[in-house]
């Protein structure tokens, strides 16, 4: 299994990966209260090219400032003209709400828009693509 950061500094456990695979592939996930669509907090995706990753960011606007917190990441490695997606992490508190699948879809949509080709060694993204074959054309 690929090393995956936990809280972006440690290591994710096999159960972290298994939970995300279950979520993005449509298998059962724990019952959680889904936040309202009218919440003031928005999750966005930010591309961090200098760090070879995308970040899922939970943030809110304040007058004159933006406060935010990264709650997940998808890491990739550049190999010639292919991006190899090698790990995905989402904080446990945000799992089971469809955030992981939305995050992966947003990343893959951005890569498609850039004309990128990807290889996937990450179990989570592989499970997502298997459950969403409309993204299979991105795989080199």
Domains (range + CATH), the chain: 14-31+74-135 (3.40.630.30)
What pLDDT is recorded for position 132?
95
Positive or negative: CA dihedral 123, 79, 140, 110: positive
Partners of 120 in the beta sheet?
85
pTM exceeds 0.85 for this model = no
What pLDDT is recorded for position 54?
95
What pLDDT is recorded for position 33?
47
Read off the DSSP letter of residue 33: P
Q: pLDDT tens string for the chain (140 positions)? A: 333 444 444 446 777 788 888 888 877 555 544 444 444 457 889 999 999 999 998 875 555 666 678 899 999 999 999 999 999 999 988 888 888 999 999 999 999 999 999 999 999 999 999 999 999 999 98
Token couple for 107: 């990343």
């Amino acid at each position: 299994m690929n090393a995956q950061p936990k809280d972006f500094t440690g290591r994710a456990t096999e159960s972290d990966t298994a939970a995300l695979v279950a979520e993005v592939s449509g298998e059962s996930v724990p019952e959680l209260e889904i936040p309202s669509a009218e919440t003031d907090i928005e999750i966005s995706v930010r591309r961090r090219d200098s760090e070879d990753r995308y970040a899922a960011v939970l943030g809110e606007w304040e007058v004159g400032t933006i406060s935010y917190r990264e709650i997940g990441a998808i890491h990739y490695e550049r190999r010639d003209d292919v991006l190899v997606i090698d790990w995905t992490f989402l904080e446990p508190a945000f799992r089971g709400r469809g955030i992981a699948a939305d995050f992966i879809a947003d990343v893959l949509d951005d890569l498609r828009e850039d004309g990128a080709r990807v290889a996937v060694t990450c179990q989570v993204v592989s499970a997502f693509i298997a459950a969403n074959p409309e993204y299979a054309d991105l795989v080199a």
